[in-house]
Amino acid sequence: MSAGRRRGEDWLCEQQTAGARLCLHVERWLVRRRSPYQALELAVTRDHGRVMALDGKFMLSERDEPFYHEMLVHPAMLVHEAPERVLIVGGGDGGALREALRHRTVKEAVLVEIDQAVIDASREHLPSVHYGSFDDPRVRIVVSPGETFLPEHPDTYDVILVDSTDPIGPGKALFQAEFLAACRRALRLGGVIALQAGTPFYWPEELEHLLRELGRLFPHVGAYLGFVPLYPSGMWAYAIAGDRDWRAEEAAVHERYASRGLTTRYYTPDLHRAAFVLPRFVEELVSRALGGEG
Protein backbone atom coordinates (compact mmCIF):
# COMPACT_ATOMS: atom_id res chain seq x y z
CA MET A 1 0.00 0.00 0.00
CA SER A 2 1.56 3.32 -1.09
CA ALA A 3 2.25 6.17 1.33
CA GLY A 4 -0.88 8.20 2.06
CA ARG A 5 -3.24 5.58 0.61
CA ARG A 6 -6.06 4.49 2.91
CA ARG A 7 -7.65 1.07 2.85
CA GLY A 8 -10.70 0.98 0.59
CA GLU A 9 -9.58 3.84 -1.64
CA ASP A 10 -9.41 3.24 -5.39
CA TRP A 11 -6.52 4.40 -7.56
CA LEU A 12 -5.71 4.44 -11.26
CA CYS A 13 -1.95 3.98 -11.62
CA GLU A 14 0.57 4.01 -14.45
CA GLN A 15 3.93 2.33 -14.01
CA GLN A 16 5.79 4.98 -16.00
CA THR A 17 9.25 3.44 -15.63
CA ALA A 18 10.69 0.59 -13.60
CA GLY A 19 11.22 3.05 -10.76
CA ALA A 20 8.45 5.60 -11.21
CA ARG A 21 4.69 5.30 -10.82
CA LEU A 22 1.93 7.91 -11.03
CA CYS A 23 -1.37 7.21 -9.26
CA LEU A 24 -4.61 9.20 -9.39
CA HIS A 25 -7.36 8.91 -6.80
CA VAL A 26 -10.51 7.50 -8.40
CA GLU A 27 -13.88 8.85 -7.32
CA ARG A 28 -15.90 6.74 -9.77
CA TRP A 29 -15.17 4.18 -12.46
CA LEU A 30 -16.89 4.72 -15.81
CA VAL A 31 -15.40 1.95 -17.96
CA ARG A 32 -13.26 -1.07 -17.10
CA ARG A 33 -13.16 -3.58 -19.93
CA ARG A 34 -10.93 -5.34 -22.38
CA SER A 35 -11.45 -4.64 -26.08
CA PRO A 36 -10.08 -6.95 -28.79
CA TYR A 37 -6.92 -4.83 -28.72
CA GLN A 38 -6.25 -3.50 -25.24
CA ALA A 39 -7.41 -2.90 -21.68
CA LEU A 40 -9.60 0.22 -21.56
CA GLU A 41 -10.16 2.16 -18.34
CA LEU A 42 -12.02 5.42 -17.85
CA ALA A 43 -12.50 7.00 -14.43
CA VAL A 44 -13.50 10.21 -12.72
CA THR A 45 -10.50 11.28 -10.64
CA ARG A 46 -10.22 13.85 -7.89
CA ASP A 47 -7.51 16.08 -9.34
CA HIS A 48 -7.61 15.48 -13.11
CA GLY A 49 -11.30 15.00 -13.89
CA ARG A 50 -12.07 12.19 -16.31
CA VAL A 51 -9.04 10.12 -17.24
CA MET A 52 -8.59 7.46 -19.91
CA ALA A 53 -5.94 4.74 -19.77
CA LEU A 54 -5.09 2.03 -22.30
CA ASP A 55 -3.11 -1.02 -21.22
CA GLY A 56 -2.27 0.77 -18.00
CA LYS A 57 -0.90 3.90 -19.74
CA PHE A 58 -2.56 7.29 -19.28
CA MET A 59 -3.89 8.65 -22.57
CA LEU A 60 -5.55 11.84 -21.39
CA SER A 61 -7.18 13.72 -18.57
CA GLU A 62 -9.79 16.44 -18.83
CA ARG A 63 -7.53 18.78 -16.90
CA ASP A 64 -4.51 18.79 -19.21
CA GLU A 65 -5.57 17.19 -22.51
CA PRO A 66 -5.50 20.58 -24.34
CA PHE A 67 -1.81 20.83 -23.46
CA TYR A 68 -1.17 17.72 -25.55
CA HIS A 69 -3.76 17.96 -28.31
CA GLU A 70 -3.10 21.61 -29.13
CA MET A 71 0.64 21.02 -29.41
CA LEU A 72 0.22 17.95 -31.59
CA VAL A 73 -2.19 19.65 -33.97
CA HIS A 74 -1.59 23.38 -34.35
CA PRO A 75 2.11 23.60 -35.24
CA ALA A 76 1.64 21.38 -38.30
CA MET A 77 -1.70 22.91 -39.26
CA LEU A 78 -0.43 26.47 -39.03
CA VAL A 79 2.78 26.01 -41.02
CA HIS A 80 0.62 24.73 -43.88
CA GLU A 81 -0.74 27.53 -46.03
CA ALA A 82 -4.28 26.12 -46.27
CA PRO A 83 -4.80 22.56 -45.00
CA GLU A 84 -7.99 21.20 -46.53
CA ARG A 85 -7.64 17.44 -46.06
CA VAL A 86 -6.39 16.17 -42.72
CA LEU A 87 -5.74 12.62 -41.55
CA ILE A 88 -5.57 11.67 -37.87
CA VAL A 89 -4.19 8.22 -37.08
CA GLY A 90 -5.23 7.08 -33.61
CA GLY A 91 -6.88 9.74 -31.50
CA GLY A 92 -10.07 7.80 -30.84
CA ASP A 93 -10.90 10.16 -27.97
CA GLY A 94 -11.63 12.95 -30.49
CA GLY A 95 -9.32 15.57 -28.96
CA ALA A 96 -6.98 15.95 -31.93
CA LEU A 97 -9.98 15.84 -34.26
CA ARG A 98 -11.61 18.67 -32.31
CA GLU A 99 -8.51 20.85 -32.66
CA ALA A 100 -8.02 20.12 -36.37
CA LEU A 101 -11.63 21.05 -37.13
CA ARG A 102 -11.12 24.48 -35.57
CA HIS A 103 -9.14 25.44 -38.66
CA ARG A 104 -11.59 27.04 -41.08
CA THR A 105 -9.64 25.79 -44.09
CA VAL A 106 -10.44 22.13 -43.34
CA LYS A 107 -12.88 20.51 -45.76
CA GLU A 108 -12.35 16.88 -44.74
CA ALA A 109 -10.90 15.23 -41.65
CA VAL A 110 -10.45 11.47 -41.62
CA LEU A 111 -10.01 9.73 -38.27
CA VAL A 112 -8.45 6.27 -38.51
CA GLU A 113 -8.70 4.44 -35.19
CA ILE A 114 -7.99 0.75 -34.67
CA ASP A 115 -10.30 0.27 -31.68
CA GLN A 116 -14.03 0.96 -31.94
CA ALA A 117 -14.29 0.56 -28.15
CA VAL A 118 -12.17 3.70 -27.64
CA ILE A 119 -14.44 5.74 -29.90
CA ASP A 120 -17.58 4.39 -28.22
CA ALA A 121 -16.32 5.07 -24.70
CA SER A 122 -15.17 8.55 -25.68
CA ARG A 123 -18.46 9.42 -27.35
CA GLU A 124 -20.33 8.49 -24.19
CA HIS A 125 -18.03 9.65 -21.43
CA LEU A 126 -15.71 12.34 -22.86
CA PRO A 127 -17.94 15.03 -24.43
CA SER A 128 -15.69 17.62 -22.79
CA VAL A 129 -12.87 16.30 -24.98
CA HIS A 130 -14.46 15.63 -28.37
CA TYR A 131 -17.03 18.50 -28.27
CA GLY A 132 -19.18 16.58 -30.75
CA SER A 133 -16.39 16.46 -33.33
CA PHE A 134 -17.20 12.87 -34.34
CA ASP A 135 -20.47 14.12 -35.85
CA ASP A 136 -19.09 17.11 -37.74
CA PRO A 137 -20.17 16.77 -41.42
CA ARG A 138 -16.53 17.18 -42.51
CA VAL A 139 -15.50 14.05 -40.59
CA ARG A 140 -15.14 10.49 -41.82
CA ILE A 141 -14.36 7.80 -39.25
CA VAL A 142 -12.56 4.65 -40.34
CA VAL A 143 -12.07 1.77 -37.89
CA SER A 144 -8.86 0.22 -39.14
CA PRO A 145 -5.18 -0.15 -38.30
CA GLY A 146 -3.38 2.92 -39.58
CA GLU A 147 -0.73 0.80 -41.25
CA THR A 148 -3.47 -0.90 -43.31
CA PHE A 149 -5.27 2.31 -44.27
CA LEU A 150 -2.33 4.52 -45.31
CA PRO A 151 -0.92 2.56 -48.26
CA GLU A 152 -4.31 2.77 -50.00
CA HIS A 153 -4.36 6.59 -50.05
CA PRO A 154 -1.35 8.06 -51.84
CA ASP A 155 -1.09 11.80 -52.51
CA THR A 156 -4.24 12.58 -50.53
CA TYR A 157 -3.63 14.65 -47.38
CA ASP A 158 -2.24 18.08 -46.58
CA VAL A 159 -1.56 17.26 -42.92
CA ILE A 160 -1.16 13.90 -41.16
CA LEU A 161 -1.33 13.81 -37.36
CA VAL A 162 -0.23 10.59 -35.66
CA ASP A 163 -1.90 10.56 -32.25
CA SER A 164 -0.60 7.16 -31.23
CA THR A 165 -0.08 5.30 -28.01
CA ASP A 166 3.45 4.34 -26.98
CA PRO A 167 5.31 1.98 -29.35
CA ILE A 168 3.87 -1.11 -27.70
CA GLY A 169 0.79 -3.20 -28.48
CA PRO A 170 -1.43 -1.74 -31.24
CA GLY A 171 0.72 1.41 -31.41
CA LYS A 172 3.99 -0.35 -32.22
CA ALA A 173 3.38 -0.46 -35.99
CA LEU A 174 2.96 3.33 -36.11
CA PHE A 175 6.64 3.82 -35.30
CA GLN A 176 7.94 1.47 -37.97
CA ALA A 177 9.65 2.45 -41.23
CA GLU A 178 6.91 0.93 -43.39
CA PHE A 179 4.16 3.02 -41.81
CA LEU A 180 6.19 6.23 -41.96
CA ALA A 181 6.97 5.62 -45.63
CA ALA A 182 3.24 5.15 -46.28
CA CYS A 183 2.61 8.47 -44.55
CA ARG A 184 5.17 10.12 -46.84
CA ARG A 185 3.38 8.78 -49.91
CA ALA A 186 -0.03 9.82 -48.55
CA LEU A 187 0.96 13.49 -48.25
CA ARG A 188 0.30 15.95 -51.02
CA LEU A 189 3.06 18.26 -52.25
CA GLY A 190 3.83 20.67 -49.42
CA GLY A 191 2.24 18.38 -46.84
CA VAL A 192 3.27 18.17 -43.20
CA ILE A 193 3.26 15.32 -40.69
CA ALA A 194 3.38 15.64 -36.90
CA LEU A 195 3.69 12.75 -34.47
CA GLN A 196 3.79 12.34 -30.72
CA ALA A 197 7.27 11.13 -29.81
CA GLY A 198 7.33 10.34 -26.09
CA THR A 199 9.53 11.86 -23.42
CA PRO A 200 13.22 12.46 -24.16
CA PHE A 201 13.84 12.49 -20.41
CA TYR A 202 12.95 8.83 -19.82
CA TRP A 203 12.86 7.40 -23.36
CA PRO A 204 15.32 9.33 -25.58
CA GLU A 205 15.61 6.31 -27.87
CA GLU A 206 11.95 6.69 -28.92
CA LEU A 207 12.40 10.22 -30.23
CA GLU A 208 15.80 9.42 -31.74
CA HIS A 209 14.40 6.40 -33.61
CA LEU A 210 11.46 8.37 -34.97
CA LEU A 211 13.61 11.28 -36.15
CA ARG A 212 16.11 8.94 -37.80
CA GLU A 213 13.37 7.16 -39.73
CA LEU A 214 11.74 10.42 -40.78
CA GLY A 215 15.13 11.76 -41.85
CA ARG A 216 15.39 8.96 -44.39
CA LEU A 217 12.08 10.03 -45.94
CA PHE A 218 11.80 13.83 -45.69
CA PRO A 219 14.20 16.66 -46.46
CA HIS A 220 13.04 18.67 -43.44
CA VAL A 221 12.66 17.02 -40.02
CA GLY A 222 12.63 18.45 -36.51
CA ALA A 223 11.41 18.12 -32.95
CA TYR A 224 9.62 20.38 -30.50
CA LEU A 225 8.52 20.10 -26.89
CA GLY A 226 5.46 20.68 -24.73
CA PHE A 227 4.44 20.19 -21.12
CA VAL A 228 1.85 17.53 -20.19
CA PRO A 229 1.62 16.94 -16.41
CA LEU A 230 -0.07 13.54 -16.77
CA TYR A 231 2.64 12.06 -19.00
CA PRO A 232 5.94 10.61 -17.77
CA SER A 233 8.33 13.41 -16.69
CA GLY A 234 5.91 16.10 -17.95
CA MET A 235 8.28 16.89 -20.85
CA TRP A 236 6.71 15.62 -24.04
CA ALA A 237 8.23 15.56 -27.51
CA TYR A 238 6.71 15.83 -30.97
CA ALA A 239 8.30 15.19 -34.35
CA ILE A 240 7.46 17.19 -37.47
CA ALA A 241 8.48 16.59 -41.07
CA GLY A 242 7.71 17.74 -44.59
CA ASP A 243 9.06 18.26 -48.08
CA ARG A 244 9.19 22.01 -47.47
CA ASP A 245 10.91 23.80 -44.61
CA TRP A 246 8.14 24.70 -42.16
CA ARG A 247 10.50 27.17 -40.46
CA ALA A 248 10.08 29.45 -43.47
CA GLU A 249 6.39 29.67 -42.55
CA GLU A 250 6.89 30.82 -38.95
CA ALA A 251 6.29 34.47 -39.83
CA ALA A 252 2.80 33.57 -41.08
CA VAL A 253 1.73 31.65 -37.98
CA HIS A 254 0.36 34.68 -36.08
CA GLU A 255 -1.74 35.81 -39.05
CA ARG A 256 -3.07 32.32 -39.77
CA TYR A 257 -3.95 31.76 -36.11
CA ALA A 258 -6.05 34.93 -36.17
CA SER A 259 -7.60 34.47 -39.61
CA ARG A 260 -8.71 30.90 -38.85
CA GLY A 261 -10.48 32.08 -35.71
CA LEU A 262 -8.54 29.86 -33.34
CA THR A 263 -8.89 29.95 -29.57
CA THR A 264 -6.57 27.81 -27.47
CA ARG A 265 -5.78 27.13 -23.84
CA TYR A 266 -2.10 26.14 -24.06
CA TYR A 267 -0.78 26.79 -27.57
CA THR A 268 0.00 30.31 -28.77
CA PRO A 269 1.85 31.54 -31.88
CA ASP A 270 4.66 32.78 -29.64
CA LEU A 271 4.86 29.41 -27.90
CA HIS A 272 5.03 27.82 -31.35
CA ARG A 273 8.41 29.43 -31.96
CA ALA A 274 9.62 28.77 -28.43
CA ALA A 275 8.72 25.06 -28.55
CA PHE A 276 11.44 24.47 -31.16
CA VAL A 277 14.12 25.90 -28.85
CA LEU A 278 15.40 22.71 -27.26
CA PRO A 279 17.38 21.96 -24.10
CA ARG A 280 20.98 20.98 -24.83
CA PHE A 281 20.45 17.26 -24.19
CA VAL A 282 17.52 17.18 -26.64
CA GLU A 283 19.47 19.23 -29.18
CA GLU A 284 22.22 16.64 -29.04
CA LEU A 285 19.73 13.82 -29.47
CA VAL A 286 18.21 15.50 -32.53
CA SER A 287 21.65 16.10 -33.99
CA ARG A 288 22.62 12.44 -33.56
CA ALA A 289 19.39 11.26 -35.15
CA LEU A 290 19.62 13.57 -38.13
CA GLY A 291 23.37 13.37 -38.68
CA GLY A 292 24.01 16.93 -37.58
CA GLU A 293 21.07 18.38 -39.52
CA GLY A 294 18.76 20.08 -37.04
Q: Give the neighbor-by-neighbor strand order of the sheet with 187-196.
A: 139-143, 108-113, 85-90, 157-163, 187-196, 235-242, 220-227
Position 222, amino acid: G
Report d(CA 201, CA 70) in Å as an integer. 21
Report d(CA 145, CA 123) in Å as an integer. 20
Of the candidates 228, 277, 290, the residue with the CA atom closest to the CA atom of residue 250: 277
Residue 258 neighbours by CB under 8 Å, 6+ apart = none
Of the candidates 87, 86, 134, 84, the residue with the CA atom closest to the CA atom of residue 106: 84
81 with 246: CB under 8 angstroms?
A: no
Q: Which of 55, 64, 93, 163 is catalytic?
A: 163
Length of the chain: 294
Alpha helices in the chain (DSSP H): 65-79, 95-101, 116-125, 127-130, 146-149, 177-186, 204-215, 253-259, 269-275, 280-289
Alpha helices in 87-244 (DSSP H): 95-101, 116-125, 127-130, 146-149, 177-186, 204-215
Verify whether residue 158 is a known catalytic residue. Answer: no
Count Cα atoms within 13 angstroms, Cβ side, for 242: 24
51 with 23: CB under 8 angstroms?
A: no
What residues pair up with 28 in beta bridges, in sequence order? Answer: 44
Report d(CA 132, CA 292) in Å as an integer. 44
Catalytic residues: 163
